Structure 1
Amino acid sequence: MEDEQESIIEQEEYEDGDKPLSTRYRPPFRTARMQIQRSNVCSRAYFVVVMVFFHVYILNVIGLLLYVHYNNGPGELVSADGDTSAASVSQGGTPLPSPTPVSEELHVEDHSQSFSLPRIEGIRVGHVQQVSLVPDRMHEMKTISLKPLLFEIPGFLSEEECRVVVQLAQLKGLMESQTTTTSQGQEESNQPLLSLSTEEVFSLLDLNQDRLLQKQEIESHSRSRDGTWLNPDNLRQILTGLEACPTGMLTLEDFRRVYDISQHPGRQRRGKLRSRFKQRSKHTWLYQGQGSHHVLHTLRNRVTSLTRLPSTLVELSEPLQVIRYEHGDFSNAHHDSSPSHSETTCAHTRLAGNTSALTEVSCRYLTMLFYLSSVEEGGETTFPVADNRTYDEQALVQEGVDLIDTQETCGRGNLRIKPTAGTALLWYNHLSDGRGWMGELDEYSLHGDCPIRHGVKWVANNWVNVDPDSQRQARYQRLVAQRKQAKPGMEEHYQPLSHSNLHQDL
C-alpha cells in the first residue's frame, strides 16, 4: 500500500514539475536523516584510512633518516674506490671500526687515489690518440707496440726545453756510469769499486770470525749497494747453497764453491737473462720538486697529466735522470724494473718496507723517456722482443747470437726507435694485476740503446715508482705525509735509492 502511495506521489511530482517548490511533495524527515547518517559513516572511514597511510609514511621517513645517520656518521671517510680509508673518533670518544686504520694526521684526499693506477689503452699498433698537454695545442700519441704497451709522442718537449735540460745537466756535472765494460770481445766487467777475493768476501761476511757463515750474517750485508757481489741473484744462490748444508752453515770451502756459482750464473743456466747491467755512458740526476727550475717542474707536471696517475706517486718518485751517450756508448738490453720476490723490497718504500727482506730493488711502474737531441747515426732505442708471440729467455741466445748484447745484435731487434729531439716514449714495465694495481713484470719491456756511430745522444728518464704491495705503498705515503706535517719547512722527503747521496739538488 505504501509502495502504491509513493508511486502516485512521484507521478504527481513529474506532472507538476512547473509548480512552485512549496506545493511539491517533500519526503518524510525520517528518510532524509537516514541518508545523512550513511554519508557520515562513509566520510569517517575515508578519514581513518588517510590518517593510517599518513602515519605509516611519516614512520618510514623517520626510519630512513635514522638509518642514514647511524650508517654514515662523521666518524668515517670513504675513499674514491668505496673502501674506508680513514677513521676518526666518534662523539663518544670511541674509534669507529675501520678495515684499514689510518693516522688522524693523514689527509685522505691526498692519498685515496693512489689505490688505483689508471692505464692508457693502446687499442692497436698504429693507433693515434689526441692528448692535451699544453694550452692551445694537441699532441698526437701513437701506439707502436702492445707487448710492451709502448707509445710515442712527438714534440713532447720544445727545442728550448730540451736545451735547458741539457744545460742544467752540464751545470750539475755528469758522472761515469758504475756499470761499464772492457774492450769488445772480453769478459764482462761489472765488479765492485774494490776488487775483493773470495776469502776476503768470506771474512767480511763472517761477523763473529768463527770461520763459519750463518744465514743472519749473510743477510746483514744484503743491503749493500756499493758493489754487485750481493745482488738478488747472488743472494739466492748463496742462501740455496747454505740451506743445502746439513749444518746450516758454510765453511770457507763451501762458500768458495757457492760464491763461484753465484758470480757465474751462466755456467749453470745457459741463456738465462743476466742480471748484471752492461752499459757505457755518463749521467746525472736533476731534482724536480719545489724550488727547481720551472722547466723541470713543468716536465714533471706534464708527465702527471699524460699518465693520469695520482700526483703523489709522481712527486714521490725518482728525480729526472739525464744521460749522455758519446761515440761508441751503449747500454745492453735490460728491464727498468724488477720482478717481485719475497726476499726483496722496493727501494723507494724503504721507509715502510719489510726490514727482514734480503735486498732492495727498483720498482718502476712505467718509464717516460725523453730524447733531448737527435743522433746522426746509431743510438736507437731497441726492444729486441717487442710484440713477439711468446717470450722465452732461451730464445734470446740463438746460435751464438745474444740479443741482449746491443753492441753486436742491435740491428736484429724487433723494434728500433731513432732519437729525435723533443720526442717522448712512454711504456709500462708491469702488467695490470686485474684489480687496478701493478702486476707482474712485463718481460717484453726488455730494451737497450744501440751504440752511437756518429754524433752525441742526450736522453732523460722519468720513472714512476710504485710498490706491488698497495698497502705498503699507502703506508709509505702516510709516513711521508706525517713527516711533512712534523717538518713543514722540509721540501723533499724522498731518499730511496743509492743515487740519493750522490747528487746535489740544483
Structure 2
Amino acid sequence: MEEIQEHFMKQEESSGEDKPSSPYIAPFRSTRLHIQRSNVCSRAYFVVVMVFFHVYILNVIALLLYVHYNNGPGDLVKREAASPQPAGDSESPLPHPAPTSRELHVEDYSESFSLHRLEGIRVGYVQQVSLVPERTHEMKTLSLKPLMFEIPGFLSEEECRVVVQLAQLKGLMESQTPALSQGQEESNQPLLSLSTEEVFSLLDLNQDGLLQKHEIVSHSRSQDGTWLSPNNLRQILTSLEARPKEMLTLEDFRQVYDVSQGPGRQRSGKLRNKFKQRNKHTWLYQGLGSHHVLHTLRNRVISLTRLPSALVELSEPLQVIRYEQGDFSNAHHDSSPAYSETTCTHTQLAGNTSALTEVSCRYVTVLFYLSSVEEAGETTFPVADNRTYEEQALVQDGVDLTDTQETCGRGNLRIKPTAGTALLWYNHLSDGRGWMGELDEYSLHGDCPVRRGVKWVANSWVNVDPDHQIQARYQRLVAQRHQSRSGMEHDQPLSHSELHQDL
C-alpha cells in the first residue's frame, strides 16, 4: 500500500511541474447547453398563429357551405334571369336565355312559396331601388290603399320612343267598350233588348220549363259578356242551389234575374256615357325574338317587383294604349275577385275547366308613361286612401265617381303623365300566408279625358292564380311543353298565345 501511494504522489508531482500551482482546485461539474428565451417565444408564437390560421380557414369553408346549401342553384338561376340589363345598349339584342325547367319547376310554387310585396312605409316615403347597373332610382310611395309607388325615370326617352314605334308598327285597334257596366264584376245588359221570359227560354235548352245548373253553365261562356256575368251567375246559382230540387221555374228566375239586371246594379240608375273607355291599343310580345328594349323592360319589372322571373315571363304581353284628344277610360279594377265558379284566364287549361266563366287575375300592375300630356289625361284613383270603401259612396250628389268624363277632378289621387315615369300598384291584398288574397277595392282607377296632346301608356301585368296549386300546375305544364319543343324547334320562340291555346 505504501508503494502504491508513493507511486501516485510521484505522478502528481511530475504533472504539476508544468502548471502553475493553485491554492484551490474546483470540483468537476457537468456541462449544460444554454438556450435563449427569445427562441422559445418565437416557437410558441408560431404555433399560436398556425392554430388561429387553421381555425379561420375552417370558418370560411363552413360559411361557404352554409351559403351554398341555403341559396341553392335555383336561386342563382333566378337571380341571373332577373338581373337588369343596361338600358342604353341598342347595338345588339340583350341576351335572355330561354326559360329552363328549373325556373318553371313546380317546387318553386309550393305551399312554402310566397309572393314578395314591397314596403310602402308611409305616403310620401322615398326609397332607393337598383334597377340598372351603376344607377339607382327613387321610388316614392303614393298611397297605402292601394299600395302604390311612383318611379321617375324608369324608362329613358329612347326606350319610350322605341315602344311607341313598335306599337305603331304592330297596328292599334279601337277600344270602344259600351259603358253598360262598371268594372269587370258588373252585370252587362244584353245588347239586344230581351225580356226576362225570352232569356229564360233561351237558357231552357230542353224546353221543360225548368232551369238546371248545366243549362245555365252552357250559356255563361259568351266572349262579349252579353249573357251572364260572374255576378249574374252567383245570384242565379245561389238561388238554384237553395231550391230542394235545384231547379228554377220562370217565376223563380224572374225574381233573381230582374234584380241583377235592375237599375240598382247601375249606381246612378241611368246610362251616362255611350262608352266606358275610348282609345286605341295593341299588344307587344316580350319573349324570345322580340325587340331588345322589350326584353329590358321585362327584366326591369322583375327587378322592381322582386317576383320570380317565370311569373313575369308567362304573364300577359305588354299592352300599349294611345289616348287622343277626348279619349278616356272610366274607373275600373284591373283584376277580378276570385269565386269558385270562375277561373283565371291565364291558367284556364291548368285549372277548373268546368268553371262558369274566365276572369283576369292580375296581382300587380306596372304602368309606364311613354309620353307627357300637354293638358289633362291624368290617371285617377277616386277612392285612394279613403278610410272606408263603400260602393254606395261612389255616387255623390247623383254623380258617379267612376265616370271620369264628369268627375275626374274629384278623385282622391291624380297622377299627371310624365314620359319615362312608372307606376306600380297591387291589385290584390296578401292572404296572410304570402300568396295573393282578396281584390283591393281601393285600386279602382281610370283615365281622365285628354284635353290637349296625345297620351301614350303601357301596362305590364303580372298574372297570378289565387290558387297556388293551380298556378304550380300551370308552371309545370309550361315547363314540360318547353322541354318537349326545345329539341325540335329550338330557334322558334313560344308565344304567349301558344302557351294558352295549345297546352
TM over 0.5: yes
Equivalent in the alignment of 2:320 = 322
Equivalent in the alignment of 2:237 = 239
C-alpha change, 1:497 and 1:196, in structure 2 (3 Å) is: farther
Equivalent in the alignment of 1:352 = 350
For the residue of structure 1 that corresponds to 2:349, the secondary structure is helix
Structure 1 CA distance for aligned equivalents of residues 288 and 74 of structure 2: 27
Equivalent in the alignment of 2:213 = 215
CA drift at 1:363: 0.8
Instruction: Choose which of 462, 465, 478 in structure 1 pairs with 2:463.
Output: 465
Deviations along 1:182-230, one digit per CA (max 9) or x if unpaired, are 9xxxxx9966677766555444433334443211111123233232331
C-alpha change, 1:132 and 1:192, in structure 2 (3 Å) is: farther
Does structure 2 conserve the Cα–Cα contact (< 8 Å) formed by 1:180 and 1:190?
Answer: no
Equivalent in the alignment of 1:66 = none
Instruction: Choose which of 451, 454, 458 in structure 2 pairs with 1:453.
Output: 451
Equivalent in the alignment of 1:492 = 494
- The residue type equivalent to 2:382 in the other structure is P
1:358-369 mapped onto 2 (5 Å cutoff): 358-369=356-367
Does structure 1 conserve the Cα–Cα contact (< 8 Å) formed by 2:187 and 2:260?
Answer: no
Instruction: Choose which of 272, 276, 279 in structure 1 pairs with 2:277.
Output: 279
Equivalent in the alignment of 1:15 = none
CA drift at 1:443: 1.5
Deviations along 1:483-502, one digit per CA (max 9) or x if unpaired, are 1112222632644999x89x
Equivalent in the alignment of 1:430 = 428
C-alpha change, 1:466 and 1:109, in structure 2 (3 Å) is: closer
Equivalent in the alignment of 2:83 = none
Instruction: Choose which of 202, 224, 229 in structure 1 pairs with 2:227.
Output: 229
Structure 1 CA distance for aligned equivalents of residues 499 and 189 of structure 2: 19
- The residue type equivalent to 1:309 in the other structure is L
C-alpha change, 1:484 and 1:277, in structure 2 (3 Å) is: farther
C-alpha change, 1:159 and 1:267, in structure 2 (3 Å) is: closer
1:45-60 mapped onto 2 (5 Å cutoff): none
C-alpha change, 1:176 and 1:251, in structure 2 (3 Å) is: farther
Structure 2 CA distance for aligned equivalents of residues 196 and 172 of structure 1: 39
Equivalent in the alignment of 1:441 = 439
1:89-168 mapped onto 2 (5 Å cutoff): 107=102, 110=105, 112-114=107-109, 115-168=113-166
Equivalent in the alignment of 1:415 = 413
Structure 1 CA distance for aligned equivalents of residues 178 and 320 of structure 2: 17
- The residue type equivalent to 1:469 in the other structure is D
Equivalent in the alignment of 2:480 = 482
Structure 2 CA distance for aligned equivalents of residues 353 and 414 of structure 1: 38
Structure 1 CA distance for aligned equivalents of residues 400 and 302 of structure 2: 37
CA drift at 1:287: 0.7
CA drift at 1:373: 1.0
CA drift at 1:358: 1.8
> Quick one: percent identity of the two aligned structures?
81
- The residue type equivalent to 1:107 in the other structure is R
Deviations along 1:349-368, one digit per CA (max 9) or x if unpaired, are 11211123221111111100
Q: Structure 2 stretches of 5 or more lacking a match?
A: 1-26, 29-71, 76-99, 181-185
Structure 2 CA distance for aligned equivalents of residues 109 and 204 of structure 1: 44
Deviations along 1:105-145, one digit per CA (max 9) or x if unpaired, are 96378554442211111111111122222233221111111
Equivalent in the alignment of 2:370 = 372
Does structure 2 conserve the Cα–Cα contact (< 8 Å) formed by 1:111 and 1:312?
Answer: no
Equivalent in the alignment of 2:44 = none
Structure 2 CA distance for aligned equivalents of residues 477 and 134 of structure 1: 28
Q: Structure 1 stretches of 5 or more lacking a match?
A: 1-18, 21-76, 81-104, 183-187, 502-506
Q: How many residues align?
A: 395
For the residue of structure 1 that corresponds to 2:402, the secondary structure is coil
For the residue of structure 2 that corresponds to 1:278, the secondary structure is strand
Deviations along 1:307-364, one digit per CA (max 9) or x if unpaired, are 1110000011011111111222211111111112122121111121112322111111
Deviations along 1:38-95, one digit per CA (max 9) or x if unpaired, are xxxxxxxxxxxxxxxxxxxxxxxxxxxxxxxxxxxxxxx9988xxxxxxxxxxxxxxx
Structure 2 CA distance for aligned equivalents of residues 427 and 437 of structure 1: 16
Q: How high is the TM-score relative to the length of structure 2?
A: 0.71
Higher relative contact order (CA 8 A, sep 6+): 2
- The residue type equivalent to 1:437 in the other structure is W
Deviations along 1:9-28, one digit per CA (max 9) or x if unpaired, are xxxxxxxxxx99xxxxxxxx
Deviations along 1:209-254, one digit per CA (max 9) or x if unpaired, are 4443211111123233232331101212322343455653344565
For the residue of structure 2 that corresponds to 1:165, the secondary structure is helix
C-alpha change, 1:197 and 1:455, in structure 2 (3 Å) is: farther
Equivalent in the alignment of 1:95 = none
Deviations along 1:406-430, one digit per CA (max 9) or x if unpaired, are 1111111111000011110001111
For the residue of structure 2 that corresponds to 1:439, the secondary structure is strand
Structure 1 CA distance for aligned equivalents of residues 200 and 442 of structure 2: 37
- The residue type equivalent to 1:492 in the other structure is L
For the residue of structure 1 that corresponds to 2:258, the secondary structure is helix
C-alpha change, 1:181 and 1:357, in structure 2 (3 Å) is: closer
Instruction: Choose which of 393, 402, 405 in structure 1 pairs with 2:391.
Output: 393
Does structure 2 conserve the Cα–Cα contact (< 8 Å) formed by 1:320 and 1:460?
Answer: yes
